[in-house]
Amino acid sequence: MDWWITKDGDEIFKEFYDRHYSRIFYKDGRNPKLFIGPGFKIVLRTLSCDAIWAWRKFKDACIDERTGKPQAGINNSIFRNESTIKSSELIRQADAIADFIWPGERHYTYVDAEKVRSVNPGYCYIIAGWKRCGMTKSGKLILEK
């Protein structure tokens, strides 16, 4: 297993998180200590902190177009990999951790195809056994397992 559990607010993690496309920089200069968001969460990083991941269980306002209800399950709120470990392997490991903590729950994430450097956004998730299941109103790809 390549993941180590850390906490929301881990300073080393935060420096790495600042490089992720979803990082919000506030115009008023606020720099919150916590950055994953509210809800029950599991924050992971590799020992050398060259990959980060967070699972988050919360009330998601994004509507699942298949059901007309809010997205349900455990949300992968951030994943960034600068390590030599294949992203699909890290995803499989993160899935195993989530399955242990939240057995039987759906895993899902959002990928902003405009902001990732890939001709096939979300491909590492697909290789790890996830599937595409829709789009958000803002145009982000929704993937689930």
Beta bridge partners of 134: 142
The residue type of 105 is E
Whole-model pTM: value is 0.87
Is 14's pLDDT higher than 80?
A: no
- Distance between CA atoms of 128 and 130, rounded to whole angstroms? 6
DSSP 3-state of 48: coil
Q: Could you tell me what percentage of the chain is helix, strand and coil, using 3-state DSSP and rounding each to the nearest 5?
A: 20, 30, 50
DSSP 3-state of 98: helix
> What residue ranges do the domains of the chain occupy?
3-144
| Pair type for strands 107-111 and 74-81 | parallel
Over residues 103-124, the mean pLDDT reads 89
- Residue-wise pLDDT tens digits, 28-85: 877 767 778 888 999 999 998 899 999 999 999 898 988 899 999 999 998 989 999 9
First to last CA, the chain: 20
| CATH-assigned architecture of domain 3-144 | 3-Layer(aba) Sandwich (3.40)
